[in-house]
Structure 1
Amino acid sequence: MKEDFLHYIWKNQLFDKADLRTVNNEKVTIINVGEHNTNAGPDFLNAKIKMDDLIWVGNVEIHINSSDWKKHKHQNDKAYNNVVLHVVYNDDKTIRTERGEVPQTIELKEKIEVQLLTKYQQVFNQKESILCSSYLSKVDGELWDNTLRKLTLERMNKKVLEIERNLNKTTNDLQWVLFLLIAQCLGLKVNKQAMQMLAQSISFNLLLKYQKNTLQFSALLFGQAGFLEGKFKEEYPSSLKKEYQYLKHKHNLVPLEKFVWKFMRLRPASFPVIRIAQLQVIMSQPQFYSKIKQAINYKNIKELLKVELDEYWDTHYVFDKLSVDKKKKLGAATLDVIIINAIVPLYFIIGKKE
């Protein structure tokens, strides 16, 4: 049995949930299975689980055997401290988090039908990446076009609703929402959530106060991201740390834990440190929001997003570690991600408001 089979079982709830209990006999009700995470960290994020009379919101980690937790060294990793449920096929060992806590565990050994494993293997051994791909060429062209248009509008409406929810959480200011959306896009799929957390840790008033001061705005972003902890040999990160300590004390700021950021399987140009530096330069442009509003075409928007970083980043991908001299620029694909997922939905909102 492979672990991805259990991911499939959990994600689709293909097991007997009648009288589901933890190994400690607590009654379990699954309200939300969470978001499937294929990158570093727990397997499912932001799950919602009721155990006895308490509702827990956190992450779910899945293993064949409980002892796999130690094999994967999760007991030494802070990223697993927020695991509220350990889902295993076989509970063979009591495990602990980095904080020394024992997460609740459910065992699925007697809850999964044997036939499911056979069916799963048959389906996922198919050569086609999309199981219905052989039929796509037979779909009528007009139906295909209409379906794509419908899906595009549905996706755009979903984005607009997300922006409106963020507006309701803030001072109803589109400039801050633009900051949040661009941050999420720069994080791509891997660090989108961490970038969102970073943006949400900086109020609109702080954004306005410091975004025109390069040193202070950089210190604010990197400090809140948790990248200015520890000692530095180089002058630039040392000066950022000094500035952040001042801002942190002045505004009672609480930085993110560094472990929320993922570097694994990322190209160095997409490292979160580089993305934060790019976010700072984009948002520091004079009248950036006004220029985005007034941009008349795709080319204008692209020019506003094609920023150059400080010389320090030509020879660095992270603080205090030299690399080969290379300009760090946003690629065409990332620029399109920002335009499609941040700028275009923002135009929809501006149109509705005005």
Structure 2
Amino acid sequence: MKEDFLHYIWQHQYFAKAGLATADDEMLQVLRVGYYNTDAGPDFREAILRVGEVEWSGSVEIHVRASEWYRHQHQQDPRYDQVVLHVVWEADKPVQRTDGTLVPVLELKERVDLQLLKTYERLQQAKNAIPCAAFWPDVPEITKTLMLERALVERLETKGEEVLKTFQRYEHDWEQTAYHTLLRGFGFKINQQAFGELANALPLSVVRRHQASLLQLEALLLGQAGFLEEAPDEYARQLQKEYLFLSHKYQLQTRKMERYQWNFLRLRPANFPTVRLAQVAAVLYQQQGFFSMLLEAKTVKAYEAFFQAQASPYWQQHYLLGKEKKALLQRMGKGSAHNLIINVTVPLLTAYAAYTDNRQHLEKAVNLLEQLKEESNKITRLYEELGWQAKSAADNQAALGLYKNYCQPVNCMRCAIGNKVMKQNSFTA
């Protein structure tokens, strides 16, 4: 048994109330269960209880065994002095606050419906990737829909929080934050980290000074990425010459990356980091204030046009310096552009919504996802096998959020679908 089961039991009060009393036989009445605490400290805050004839307001701490209070050193932590009830499965030991006073204890093991416990254990021990797969058909569609909507918003907020961390790191500069997010996006999954390192190695302040020259942008990006150590043709020599001058001017050499930091393995030539760098150069060349553009564009087509900026003629014919491709490399594919909308535009909009406390930006992010075509992947297919079907990229993101935050860690007690399964399979609930 895990504590999350007892959190669930307490939060929903799914236990027998007749003759409710503490381990010391004092009458107990729950007036308010409190609010679940996701930060450090007791599990539930602002609970209101009546113990004997006295009404108490404070926190509730939950453990499987009462003795875990001491294992977690709560008897030495002043934050736990406000605990007015210790809820446990088994009251194996009295517990004390820092001043030595005893904390009232409620033991639940004789008060919880065994069917509820069996359902919980069945979910916890399920071998399916989706723990509630056996129960899924019996869960109302509205419950699934609402939970998926919640999972989508939570996933977007998590992505937004990552952007806000970057925003803090760059001293509240939105353009620099957008630049870093843009470059990481162009790394897709395989080279995301390397592109992020490049954003740190090549400051936006330097890029801005040369946004009027596509050749200089390519030289800065490819040179700082470590791809201009050799110059196998005339165009490469031009880039190398520009980079040597600019890197000396801005003292970039100490932060220059090495070629080994980039991944080419199992990538098609059109996805090589050299090609992506040329495409980034084209995006930066066409748009001076790209954060404003990412914030203010109105349509999916406008974002597609932004991300699908045409690379220079050389990179339409090459995938590596000196390595020609027989067929011309056309603009970035629409699928890749949509990936960038999902992983660059949407997180920036979500972060900006949180920063400005303006939900319109979050609504715009969701609206963009709803307009993009769904793409089946190994995670969404798990839900498709249960009869669910994604209709847009918003659905895809919702499924990814549901799986990663709830199904994969078997966090059923925090999931509305898991809650419904528990309720439908319990006499008490």
- Return the TM-score normalized by structure 1: 0.59
Secondary structure, counterpart of 1:340 in structure 2? helix
State the distance in 2 between where 1:169 and 1:210 align. Answer: 24
Say if 2:192 is the partner of 1:192: yes
Contact 1:212-1:286 within 8 A present in 2 as well: no
Amino acid at match of 1:145: T
Contact 1:219-1:240 within 8 A present in 2 as well: yes
Contact 2:179-2:199 within 8 A present in 1 as well: yes
State the distance in 2 between where 1:130 and 1:268 align. Answer: 36
Q: Which has the higher contact order (CA 8 A, sep 6+)?
A: 2
Partner of 1:233 in structure 2? 232
Partner of 1:210 in structure 2? 210
Say if 2:282 is the partner of 1:281: yes
Amino acid at match of 2:247: K
- 304, 307, 321: which is aligned to 1:305? 307
Give the 3 Å change call, closer, same or farther, for CA 336–264 of structure 1 in structure 2. Answer: same
State the distance in 2 between where 1:322 and 1:330 align. Answer: 18
Contact 1:219-1:241 within 8 A present in 2 as well: yes
Contact 1:186-1:334 within 8 A present in 2 as well: no
- 1:349: Cα distance to partner? 3.2
Partner of 1:249 in structure 2? 248
State the distance in 2 between where 1:263 and 1:132 align. Answer: 39
State the distance in 2 between where 1:319 and 1:223 align. Answer: 12
- 1:317: Cα distance to partner? 0.8
Deviations 1:163-207 (A, max 9, x none): 111111114221222121121111111110011011111123112
- 1:147: Cα distance to partner? 1.9
State the distance in 1 between where 2:244 and 2:131 align. Answer: 54
State the distance in 1 between where 2:328 and 2:135 align. Answer: 46
Contact 1:179-1:283 within 8 A present in 2 as well: no
Give the 3 Å change call, closer, same or farther, for CA 173–137 of structure 1 in structure 2. Answer: same
Deviations 1:1-20 (A, max 9, x none): xxxxxxxxxxxxxxxxxxxx
Give the 3 Å change call, closer, same or farther, for CA 210–133 of structure 1 in structure 2. Answer: farther
Contact 2:281-2:311 within 8 A present in 1 as well: no
- 1:268: Cα distance to partner? 1.2
Deviations 1:56-102 (A, max 9, x none): xxxxxxxxxxxxxxxxxxxxxxxxxxxxxxxxxxxxxxxxxxxxxxx
Give the 3 Å change call, closer, same or farther, for CA 129–219 of structure 1 in structure 2. Answer: same
Secondary structure, counterpart of 1:189 in structure 2? coil
Greater shift, 276-285 or 295-304, is seen at 295-304
Greater shift, 138-147 or 154-163, is seen at 138-147
Secondary structure, counterpart of 2:319 in structure 1? strand
Partner of 2:319 in structure 1? 317
Query: Rg: which structure is higher?
Result: 2
Contact 1:277-1:309 within 8 A present in 2 as well: yes
Deviations 1:256-290 (A, max 9, x none): 11111111111111110011111111121134423
Greater shift, 182-191 or 320-329, is seen at 320-329
Give the 3 Å change call, closer, same or farther, for CA 145–202 of structure 1 in structure 2. Answer: same
- Return the TM-score normalized by structure 2: 0.50
Contact 1:282-1:305 within 8 A present in 2 as well: yes
State the distance in 2 between where 1:201 and 1:223 align. Answer: 11
State the distance in 2 between where 1:133 and 1:186 align. Answer: 36
Contact 1:263-1:271 within 8 A present in 2 as well: yes
Amino acid at match of 1:284: Y
Give the 3 Å change call, closer, same or farther, for CA 268–138 of structure 1 in structure 2. Answer: farther
- 1:327: Cα distance to partner? 2.6
Deviations 1:5-64 (A, max 9, x none): xxxxxxxxxxxxxxxxxxxxxxxxxxxxxxxxxxxxxxxxxxxxxxxxxxxxxxxxxxxx
Secondary structure, counterpart of 2:189 in structure 1? helix
Give the 3 Å change call, closer, same or farther, for CA 241–154 of structure 1 in structure 2. Answer: same
CA RMSD in angstroms, aligned pairs only: 2.3
Say if 2:292 is the partner of 1:270: no
State the distance in 2 between where 1:194 and 1:283 align. Answer: 18
Partner of 2:330 in structure 1? 328
Q: Mind listing any 5+ residue stretches in structure 2 that lack a counterpart? A: 1-124, 359-429
Amino acid at match of 1:280: A
- 1:350: Cα distance to partner? 3.2
Counting matched residue pairs gives 228
Secondary structure, counterpart of 1:188 in structure 2? coil
Query: What does 1:286-297 correspond to in 2, within 5 Å?
Result: 286-289=287-290, 290-297=292-299
Say if 2:181 is the partner of 1:181: yes
Secondary structure, counterpart of 1:317 in structure 2? strand
State the distance in 1 between where 2:171 and 2:204 align. Answer: 8
